Structure 1
């Protein structure tokens, strides 16, 4: 089945996009800072955007790139456009667990809002793409100047904390297949697309489990006709069915975000009323 047919059969209107390493996608930033796809930026006043735009630059982030290490400094703040950034809790040098995923709905900034710019978690680019980048010092000055931005950040950080706390219970009590479905839906929400590059080992790192368990879960989702997986790429075929297979943490996280962030009706992956993206 071609990708366009898969989307037509799905109740969602998220398009399938190629986030692979094409030369065009890496050399031309598709976003306008003053009318950004990043939802947090879209909540700011025009004067604020004009002032902040002078301090921001577009950068391409490669999948797997480390943006911050636990206990280390974070020199920049990132507003993702097409990239996603995973926050990882490390148990030791080898074992880690993805506790939340940042995409076009928010920003990577928590360590630099107050005090020293020290990261409490590892920040890793999950899927490559574009982001706006702002220096940590310039960002702190903007937060001090802009109470609206500060209030938005307080709400956003509350959401990230809630999601990270929920993951600990989710990992203990929910099965691999349900958790994988949840993270695939979350990733679709963050990038606004049904297709994205994702290798089995990366999925295992997201879930904090063995690759063999992820391989079995992926096979079951494929057998049920929920996803396609080939050569390190995932295509979600049936979003509503995948949501039914996901643990309730996916719906809980969406409700928390909708309640706390009050952004414009952001379509969720399993929402049959999700509009087509026109940008």
Structure 2
């Protein structure tokens, strides 16, 4: 592959995919690359496969050997180290470590340019109050003055956060101005995140869910019984019915959202509705 058309290292979200492409582009056989790294061809095959049953992780020392063998620049080497950590965290289902590696990768300008949409959706997830603001925009009777909106959000946010948040929603197409100059929602934030790359989607949604659970816990102390409802049940679900249980949860959430949307615009406070299903035994 000519150098001019070779995919930039900074466009990758998996070092395994990167290594496959670089070996192919550089004319490396797995045997030749194994000899360069002083390991077996079988290990190279396991390092570049996406198969969960066959793959093996790239150790820190082996990563340094790869950096040397492929002649990475200092910036490329630093990005590759972060990419290694990101790949492992994603494959192991460890979103917090994945996000930590993502933040390291996002410091590289070329990565930010290549992954602009994914970076936008991560920013969406990190600003937990954006879904609240978007829902408040549906209220025709509510003033859209940033100062007044900020005072209504729980827990409190600043006027500048609301101003920046509204500007972000408008700039990214989640809101638009009507003929009267008021902001109105055009898209759902969760739908927006769902359009991002698969592993970025998982990380962004995990971040949103963590904020939601933290605020649900805070709500136990903040609100009295007339203002809230918490319910918990412990049930046995056979493995073969887990998908059905998830579908029922989604259906329940949709029914409650539909019920709320049937109310005339301009009525009611914004509530958080959360539903969780997870194992409590092995």
How does the TM-score come out when normalised to structure 1?
A: 0.28
Larger strand fraction of residues: 1
How does the TM-score come out when normalised to structure 2?
A: 0.27
Name the larger-Rg structure: 2
Larger helix fraction of residues: 2
